[in-house]
Amino acid sequence: DAGVIQSPRHEVTEMGQEVTLRCKPISGHDYLFWYRQTMMRGLELLIYFNNNVPIDDSGMPEDRFSAKMPNASFSTLKIQPSEPRDSAVYFCASSHNSGGAGNEQFFGPGTRLTVL
Amino acid sequence: DAKTTQPTSMDCAEGRAANLPCNHSTISGNEYVYWYRQIHSQGPQYIIHGLKNNETNEMASLIITEDRKSSTLILPHATLRDTAVYYCIVRVKGGFQKLVFGTGTRLLVSP
């Protein structure tokens, strides 16, 4: 298994531009998570999906951020318009609900976003 | 979810056991203890989890005190590749599967 795949690995853009981050979860996993990591705030959960349906988006910082999961094998996190304070590493993770506590999350390698 | 307290940093000599403590004095009866680690520039990696019994896998051992108010992650023979930030997280069984990462313990393994 290739694990969680994220693209691009690095993104440099200018303030005001639209940014789209992509994630392919592990096949068969029914949960997908988007996290953001910065030095100041650490690792934060932004939103997560179960069976392609958004369950909790309380971590999404503001309306400039949106996430979709059109099917079980693909999700996007979009920032429009982007701002310098959005610069961070964005991780996608997936897990399978085994029905118990053994629902470890598998993280992708992350996308390092720099907004100039 | 219960709050956890971990030391900010620890050092360990290569080949020795690394014992990483975690306090979770407000843990509830249905909350599990999870450990993840994050090696520099990588995504977090699951290590182990437990409820009240000690657990062991190929990566580490987890020792949970009888009152469940604290636990210790043990890396029996630390290597340089174990240098990472280690996160102790407590969360309910099943539920919404949120993981709340604190600041963790930065473990430095030296030759």
Query: What distances in angstroms separate CA B48 from CA A58, A73, A83, A96, B9, one per listed residue?
Result: 27, 26, 37, 16, 20
Q: Model confidence over B39-53: pLDDT tens digits? A: 998 999 999 999 998
Q: Model confidence over B86-111: pLDDT tens digits? A: 999 988 766 666 788 888 999 999 99
Q: Which residues on adjacent β-strands are paired with residue A48?
A: A33, A56
- Dist CA B74 CA B28 (whole Å): 23
- Dist CA B93 CA B16 (whole Å): 33
| Residue A66 pLDDT | 97
- Interior angle at CA A92, CA A31 and CA A22, nearest 5: 105
Residue A102 has pLDDT above 60, yes or no: no
| Residue B94 pLDDT | 62
- Dist CA A108 CA A65 (whole Å): 20
Whether residue B44 and residue A107 make contact (CB cut-off 8 A), yes or no, is yes
Residue A98 has pLDDT above 90, yes or no: no
Strand blocks (E) in B5-59:
9-13, 18-23, 31-38, 45-50, 55-56
Residue A100 has pLDDT above 60, yes or no: no
Interface of A with B in 13-72 (CB under 8 A): 31, 33, 42-45, 48, 55-56
Number of A–B residue contacts, CB under 8 Å: 54
Confidence of residue B23 (pLDDT cuts 50, 70, 90): very high
| Residue A2 pLDDT | 81
How many C-beta atoms surround the C-beta of residue A66 within 10 A? 15
- The pairing of strands B105-110 and B84-92 is antiparallel
| Residue B40 pLDDT | 92
Sign of the alpha-carbon torsion through B58, A94, B84, B49:
negative
Q: Model confidence over B30-85: pLDDT tens digits? A: 888 999 999 998 999 999 999 998 999 999 999 999 999 999 999 999 999 999 99
How many percent of chain A have pLDDT more than 90? 79
Q: Which residues of B touch A (CB under 8 A)?
A: 32, 34, 38, 42-46, 49, 51, 93-94, 96-103
Q: Model confidence over A29-78: pLDDT tens digits? A: 989 999 999 999 999 999 999 899 998 899 998 899 999 999 999 999 99
Tell me which residue of B33, B13, B34 sits closest to B82, measured CA to CA. B13
Q: Model confidence over A5-32: pLDDT tens digits? A: 999 999 999 999 999 999 999 999 989 9
Nearest CA of chain B to the CA of A56: how many Å? 9
| Residue A1 pLDDT | 65
| Residue B34 pLDDT | 92
Residue B29 has pLDDT above 90, yes or no: no
